[in-house]
Amino acid sequence: MLDCSEGAQKQLRRMRLPMMKIDHIFISHLHGDHYLGLAGLLFSYHLIGRTKPLNIFAPEGLQEIIELQFRVSDHKPAYPLHFHIVREGGQQVYEDKNITVETIAMEHRIPTYGYLFREKQALRNIRKDAIEHYNIPIEHISKIKSGKDLVRDNGEIIPNHKLTKDPPAPRSYAFCSDTGYTEQYLGQIKNVDLLYHEATFLHDKVDIARQKTHCTGIDAATIAKKACAGQLLIGHYSARYDDMKLFEKEAKRVFPDTILAQEGLCVEIGNKENRE
Amino acid sequence: MLDCSEGAQKQLRRMRLPMMKIDHIFISHLHGDHYLGLAGLLFSYHLIGRTKPLNIFAPEGLQEIIELQFRVSDHKPAYPLHFHIVREGGQQVYEDKNITVETIAMEHRIPTYGYLFREKQALRNIRKDAIEHYNIPIEHISKIKSGKDLVRDNGEIIPNHKLTKDPPAPRSYAFCSDTGYTEQYLGQIKNVDLLYHEATFLHDKVDIARQKTHCTGIDAATIAKKACAGQLLIGHYSARYDDMKLFEKEAKRVFPDTILAQEGLCVEIGNKENRE
């Protein structure tokens, strides 16, 4: 889960997303609209008897807030609650067999971090016809998947490319919220498949955006373009706007493959190569 | 405002209640379902430029939480934010020309307080026909309203009862949440016009209620009956229940004038005398 604003629990229920599947929560920064739903979620986990660990990644201060809230309520979470304090960008904070997550340093009034999710390169796909045709012994399969040639006991060599297909290219997702316009993380998010980037103001309010360390639709699209992103998802529109289509319109002038974030939207992350 | 749970801001907007009219917030205790909407509301007041003071009445700990949340967000509220720490029941924490508010000590796992709102006795109502009939000089009006007789310069005395009618009896409202069954505040809420009392469980779960320091529908109704309340409003039903009518049914067996609290319900507080 990325950020957790007030009412997140209710929203999870409305979207029929099973809250017990959430084991890792990544908080960008400690402005209220990005974390005020967390305490309620954590209390609910306690009340419904969660036992499996929960990991929270966040800048300094959140752990103190949550621990204080548990303390005054005279509860201790019934499940292991692990805080991972984020102090810099470009830091790998999570890894499992499928993905890695690293922090991205945002430019904001208080310490703020985006998160970059990268799939790991999958093993090569073995061709079903090759298994039969070359009569591949089962004990060789995992070696072949990892790219090795098939070497038979009699010394015969079947090259890997005859046995396997390329696996799908690993996909990546960058979540960049909130930030003023900066190119400091362009290198890090280069070629990302899906870039979520905040766009708080329309570009006619670029001065206010600069002053409040937020971005415009044009800013977000410029970052997407310079980073050669596959797709751009924008959001975090200021409450002063009613017509979000204006954000889409201005961003698309710079980066055509732009999507407007809205409540309940699901976006499938396709890897760039397959999409092109 | 009495308690402020997660999503309170959204609910205020939905009910078209002007959030800027709120100047006093009374928090019963620091379990999440009673205060987690407060930080968002306070941040919003800051962001929309509130300047008039806000007073918060709550047990110890809330001030620390809110101040920490402002500190980590690098904001200072743009308006005077006054915390009044409640440490005991029966304490008058607020008074203006119309009402007084005193705390009621609840029985719960952590320090918890109800609040008792009492209208002050209004001045006597002057009879319009008497103004004309006795030709009452304007400078005597306020004395007569406060109960004095009219004494003319020639020494003639017109007794007050000929000039005025009784004002409406002052009304009162007691908010009792959360609490186990206790009669410790019966004396304090005696004859209250409207009693809100928690009823978390149905009475077949009275053992669980006792263990968790909550009340049943029967408990709430018993308190209302013993306190000679005018009306009883019950709420805080456990999430395990779907059919709230069962609460109404069991409470009405003991105290017929029972109302079920539900989202958006408005209850007019009529004073007991007029209702009877």
- The pLDDT of residue B45 is 97
Task: Return the percentage of chain A with pLDDT > 90, whole number.
Answer: 91
CB neighbours (10 Å) of residue B248? 17
B187 touching A (Cβ < 8 Å): no
| Residue A276 pLDDT greater than 60, yes or no | no
Binning pLDDT at 50, 70 and 90, where does residue A272 land? low
Q: What is the pLDDT of residue B271?
A: 73
Residue B234 touches partner A, C-beta closer than 8 Å: no
Cα atoms in the Cβ-side hemisphere of radius 13 Å centred on B32: 25
- Chain B residues closer than 8 Å to A7 by CB: 6-7, 10
The ipTM of this complex is 0.89
Q: Which residues of A touch B40 (CB under 8 A)?
A: 6, 32, 36
* Both structure tokens of B257: 């004038």
Q: Is B64 at the interface with chain A, CB within 8 A?
A: yes
Residue B255 contacts residue B190 (beta carbons within 8 Å): no
Q: Which residue is it, tokens 């797709």?
A: A231
Distance CA B104, CA B101 (A): 10
Q: What is the mean pLDDT of residues A97-108?
A: 97
What region does B212 belong to: left with phi over 0, alpha with psi -120 to 50, or beta?
alpha
Q: Give the pLDDT band (50/70/90) at residue A6.
A: very high
Cα A94 versus chain centre, distance: 12
What residue of B is the nearest CA neighbor of A35? B40
DSSP string covering A3-38 = ---TTHHHHHHHTT--GGG--EEE----SGGGTTTH
Residue bearing tokens 């009006």: B141
pTM attached to this predicted model:
0.91
Phi then psi for residue A220, to 5 deg, are -60, -45
CA terminus-to-terminus distance, chain B? 29
Provide the residue type at A92 as one letter. Answer: Q
Residues A38/A66, Cβ–Cβ less than 8 Å: yes
**Which residues of B are tagged catalytic?**
33
Q: What is the pLDDT of residue A153?
A: 87
Q: Is B250 exposed, middle or buried (0-12, 13-18, 19+ CB in 10 A)?
A: buried
Rounded to the nearest 5°, which phi and psi values hold at A66? -65, -45
| Alpha helices in chain B, H assignment, sequence order | 8-14, 38-47, 62-72, 128-133, 141-145, 186-189, 206-211, 217-226, 245-254, 272-275
Give the β-pairing of B125-126 and B164-165. Answer: antiparallel
Confidence at residue B273, expressed as pLDDT on a 0 to 100 scale = 65
Amino acid at A114: G
- The Cα–Cα gap between A258 and A244 comes to 12
- The values of phi and psi at residue B72, to 5°, are -70, -25
Contact list in A for residue B109 (CB cut-off 8 A) is 74
Nearest to A63 by CA among A46, A48, A49, A42: A42
pLDDT tens-digit series, residues A50-74: 999 999 999 999 999 999 999 999 9
Predicted local confidence at residue A273, as pLDDT: 65
Q: Are B95 and B15 in contact (CB under 8 A)?
A: no
What are the angstrom distances between the C-alpha of A218 and each of A158, A232, B91?
Answer: 53, 12, 57
Q: Please state, rounded to an integer, the average pLDDT across all residues of chain A.
A: 95
Structure-token pair, residue B255: 């105290």
Quick one: pLDDT at residue B274? 64
- Between chain A and chain B, the number of residue pairs with CB atoms below 8 A apart is 72
The candidate with the shortest Cα–Cα distance to B67, out of A61, A184, A124, is: A61
Radius of gyration, alpha carbons of chain A:
23
Q: What is the pLDDT of residue B272?
A: 66
User: What distance in Å separates residue B107's CA from the closest CA in chain A?
Assistant: 14
Average pLDDT (A210-235) is: 98
Sequential pLDDT tens for chain B (276 residues) = 999 999 999 999 999 999 999 999 999 999 999 999 999 999 999 999 999 999 999 999 999 999 999 999 999 999 999 999 999 999 999 999 999 999 999 999 999 999 999 999 999 999 989 988 998 988 899 999 999 999 988 999 999 999 999 998 899 999 999 999 999 999 999 999 999 999 999 999 999 999 999 999 999 999 999 999 999 999 999 999 999 999 999 999 999 999 999 999 999 998 766 665
**Residue owning tokens 């306690």:** A46
Number of Cα atoms under 13 Å in the Cβ half of residue B265: 11
Kindly state the tokens that stand for A129: 């016809």
Residue A4 has phi, psi (to 5 degrees) of -155, 85
Tell me how far apart the alpha carbons of residues B199 and A123 are, in angstroms, rounded to a whole number. 58
> Which residue, among B267, B264, B200, B201, has the nearest Cα to B232 in the 3D structure?
B267
pLDDT tens-digit readout, A124-178:
999 989 988 998 988 899 999 999 999 988 999 999 999 999 998 899 999 999 9
A-interface mutation test, from B3, B4, B5, B6, most A Cβ less than 10 A away: B6
Q: How far is CA B265 from the centre of its chain?
A: 15
Nearest CB to B69; choose among A10, A65, A110: A65
Closest residue, chain A, to B31 (C-alpha): A73
Give the C-alpha separation, A113 to A102, whole Å. 10
Question: How far apart are the CA of B31 and the nearest CA of chain A, in angstroms?
Answer: 5
- CA–CA distance from B248 to each of A110, B144, B215, B254, B257 (Å)? 50, 46, 14, 10, 10
Query: Which pLDDT does position A111 carry in this prediction?
Result: 98
Tell me the C-alpha to C-alpha distance, in Å, between residue A119 and each of A95, A123, A142, A235, B253: 10, 12, 20, 24, 62
Residue (of A227, A29, A207) closest to A111 by Cα position:
A29
Q: Which of A36, A44, A110, A213 to mutate to test the interface with B (most CBs of B within 10 A)?
A: A36
Q: Is A68 in contact with B72 (Cβ distance < 8 A)?
A: no
**How far, rounded to the nearest angstrom, does the alpha carbon of residue A186 sit from its chain's CA centroid?**
16
Give the residue from chain A lying closest to B7, CA to CA: A7
The two beta strands, B172-176 and B194-198, are parallel
